[in-house]
Structure 1
Amino acid sequence: MEHLTPAYFGLEPLNLGKLTLQEEFWCDHQKWLQDCGYMLRPRYMLDWQLSWPVDVRGMEYEDAQPLIRALTINDTTRLSDGAYVTLKIIKPSLHPYKVDTAMSLCLKQLTSDPLNHCVPIYNVLKLPEDNDKVILVMPLLRGWHELEFEMVREGIYFFQQIFEDILILNVLMDGSMYPDRWHPCNRRHMQDNFRLLAKHFSHTEHPPKYYFIDFGISCWYGPDNKAPLELPIRNYVGNLIREAVINEYKDFDFMWPLISDMVQDDLAKCPTIDQVVKHFADMCKKLGILKLHAYVGRRDESFGVVHDFVHLFTTIKYTLMGIPPVPTQ
């Protein structure tokens, strides 16, 4: 069978030693970003030279990793403290409320609230040559689903956080489970040593914080406006849990009564977020220790005696470590 290479689809093979057209934007702005206090990776330096021999494919080298979403997103090191952060390009003409909404949710009196899961915005950079582009500086995050749940308790922890804030749009998680960070273009590998896999802990050992991002379709209303005109995002939270958790993992069927209420076609019959939180809390009180520690493999996954023994050992280890039944931040 012919390999599915770019040539198979009539495309030119990706030249890792050359920046894509989208990546050239970042190279052109590298010096300006450095002056603003942010250092891009070596690939985007004006004097970048390949770190691998020209006769080698190069994919295993750090600076051979092209950006996945170069048109809008890049990663960078903040020079003031060495923190690894994300840069995201926004066009206010397309999303007029996105920046203001995100910034308003990052006010000190709101970020100190543990129930606020909106992604923090560290800085807003205005491009000197383009009035319709700004760059948001945010923490480096990754998809909430990229590390699978191992126990019911970890799913409970996830549900708790997404029920705490009704501003659900897209969900990401922080790097709590990754002590040595990861490479943003290939998240299986370490950021500082691309040839090594990124070390990570489980959701139980180092519980992540989940963040909500993307306020592009959001609108801002004053306190006197009692009837917003925009249509609601239908049943997003319920559908997210149903499709990405209950339908994918075993042992979350106890969530069906609540989720069924949340995904009704008639929005008037759907519970309010306060009712959801109360219903969820009541359900959790009925879950025993064995249920919370139950392994939640994929629905198409089969288990054996060895797996059961390993899971039992892991459960005992967590208990001896004094980790509570449901993870806490």
Structure 2
Amino acid sequence: MTGPQAQATASEPPAIKPQFDHAVLQSGEVFWRDHQRWLEQKGYMLRPRYHPSWVASWRGADDSWWNYEDSTPAARPPVMDATRIDTGEIVVLKRISKSEYPTEAEIMQFFTAEPLGSHPRNHCVPLLDHFDVPGEKNYQILVTPLLRKYNDPRFKSVGEAVEFFRQIFVALQFMHQLKVAHRDCTEFNVMMDPRPTFPDLYHPQNPRMNLNWNGAPQYYTRTARPTKYYLIDFGLSRKFDPEGDPPLEVPVLGGDMTVPEYQDSTSPCDPFPVDVYYIGNMINEDFLLTSKGVEFMIPLINDMIQDDPSKRPTMDEVVSRFDDIRRKLSWWKLRSRLIETSEGNFERFVRSVRHAVRTTIHVIRSRPAIPTPND
């Protein structure tokens, strides 16, 4: 493009059309402003946007609101980031209704307390702290580490995907062996520890920006810096009697509405095969249907998402079968690139060249093809 139109486009700001005034807190954010001083006394500092005396920093400035960190509202108002005053660690505060989710804190405490808390097969997000909200008997604050969506950034190699499969299968197996059903282990509730791959972290409300709000965050691949994956959100989870019969529960609809048992939402069903379906369908939709390179997972995933829950493998069987699959994968296969089916020819060429360079560096530095973190 040339001429006046090109010059105008180059000088104009991004075509951002806010639906609200960024200088005014949204209704869901008011709670955090009103409890900022109390949270500070508890040891947690909220960002300036939620201080009672906050005034938008771009007011009166010769600049646009999107250039300022405090213009960013909470993406999900019941969930807020904060800084632990004693350590400087960024954490996540989650406000829950005790009447709606009465066992969430209890189950998180169960997996956080020793000896389970440090168990290498435990991938349940730890509960760092929890406390009731003063004057609001029904509400409670849960404090957890800052985590990032499990597939952001994208997986670069088959070996990285294989390690993800291993960890998430073990995570659910561990819960099931302790007779706890997650009941909502969908893609939204599977996260990764960002600290190895993002050593300088990123803005907790906008993962595309760094903490200083002046550019994109720097990160390493999972092969260079192996990471750990976590299950979160135990609001629908249930702990059952280890000695009891297989449980039958009326379905509580989670994030994946395709579960065959849930098509009749009034018939009790065993929640453990539902979990198997959830994880299997997540891998089916996020990998098998969108990528090339992990076709070896098709037989196992097809069994996990069968309509008949009695024909699905247990998580013990899933882990055992996956271990057999993983042992048979060649070094070359594990090092190969995970190709997204949406890639165009030019994009595929560029990514392939970059992958070849990265892989050469990984091999020279003796980095394993399956990047397993030190638990």
Normalization by structure 1: what TM-score? 0.92
| Map 1:43-192 → 2, pairs under 5 A | 43-54=49-60, 56-70=63-77, 72-166=78-172, 167=175, 169=185, 170-175=189-194, 176-191=196-211
Tell me whether 1:325 sits opposite 2:369 in the alignment: yes
Which residue in the other structure is 2:325 paired with? 283
Change (3 A) 1:28 1:305: closer
Deviation of 1:5 (Å): 4.0
- The alignment of Structure 1 onto Structure 2 pairs a total of residues equal to 319
Percent sequence identity over aligned pairs: 39
Change (3 A) 1:187 1:237: same
Q: 2:307 and 2:16 mapped to 1: Cα distance?
A: 42
Q: Report deviation, 1:15.
A: 0.8
| Preserved CA contact (<8 Å) 2:96 2:139 | yes
Q: Could you list the structure 1 runs, at least 4 aligned residues long, displaced by more than 6 angstroms after superposition.
A: none
Deviations, residues 283-323 of structure 1 (Å, cap 9, x unaligned): 11111111001111211213665543332221110011111
Give the TM-score of the pair, scaled to structure 2: 0.81
1-side partners of 2:96 and 2:231: how far apart? 17
Contact 2:92–2:146 under 8 Å retained in 1: yes
Going from structure 1 to structure 2, the CA distance change for 1:139 and 1:324 (only over 3 Å counts) comes to same
The question of 1:297 aligning with 2:339 is answered yes
Matches within 5 A, 1:206-225: 206-225=225-244
1:221 is displaced (CA, Å) by 2.3
Deviates more, 1:61-70 or 1:310-319: 310-319
Tell me the secondary structure at the aligned position of residue 363 of structure 2: helix
> Which secondary structure state, in structure 1, belongs to the residue aligned with residue 190 of structure 2?
strand
Q: 1:86/1:307 Cα in 2 relative to 1: closer, same or farther (>3 Å)?
A: closer
Are 2:292 and 1:272 equivalent residues in the alignment?
no
> SS where residue 59 of structure 1 aligns?
helix
Instruction: Within 5 Å, give how 1:206-245 maps onto structure 2.
Output: 206-230=225-249, 231=269, 232=271, 233=274, 235-245=277-287
What SS does the corresponding residue of 2:131 show, helix, strand or coil?
strand
